[in-house]
């Protein structure tokens, strides 16, 4: 993406019309801001995902040798807790996807 922004900045130097150059420079600034926001959203989702996966791995490791009939009852509570965290993760991932889709749509409008 950095190459795209670099190319865009280089092309700004080629404009003779100051108004067109100013307009494209403003669009570049807005696009860069939206890109940073999208990346931040994706990184937040990534961080959350790693935390949820660690909990899930711990639960799997703990349950593997202890999976007995009497353990099934308490497992329902563990699953409910884990499911809640997974639901949060899914919402955050969906928000990150929406943000990246909006950014891509915005780029496509500007390119087209």
How many independent structural domains does the chain possess?
1
pLDDT-derived band of residue 109, with 50, 70 and 90 as boundaries?
A: confident
Phi, psi of 68 (to 5 degrees): -125, 165
pLDDT tens per residue across span 43-87:
888 888 878 888 888 888 877 776 665 556 666 677 777 788 888
Q: 77-100: string of b/e by CB count within 10 Å (b at 16+)?
A: eeeeeeeeebeebeebbeebeebe
Structure tokens at 95: 């928000």
- Domain of 86 in residue numbering reads as 2-111
Does the global pTM surpass 0.75? Answer: no
- To the nearest whole percent, how much of the chain has pLDDT over 90? 20
Tokens standing for 55?
């909990």
Mean pLDDT of all residues belonging to the chain: 82
For residue 106, what is the enclosing H or E element? helix 72-111
Would you say 82 and 55 are in contact if contact means Cβ atoms under 8 Å apart? yes
pLDDT at residue 15 above 90?
yes
């Amino acid at each position: 993406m950095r190459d795209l922004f670099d190319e865009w900045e280089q092309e700004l130097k080629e404009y003779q019309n100051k108004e067109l150059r100013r307009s494209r420079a403003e669009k570049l600034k807005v696009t860069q801001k939206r890109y940073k926001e999208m990346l931040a959203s994706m990184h937040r989702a990534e961080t959350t995902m790693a935390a949820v996966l660690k909990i899930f791995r711990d639960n799997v490791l703990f349950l593997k040798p202890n999976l007995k009939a009497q353990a099934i009852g308490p497992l329902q509570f563990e699953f409910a807790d884990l499911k809640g965290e997974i639901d949060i993760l899914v919402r955050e991932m969906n928000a990150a996807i929406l943000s990246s889709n909006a950014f891509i749509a915005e780029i496509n409008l500007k390119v087209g």
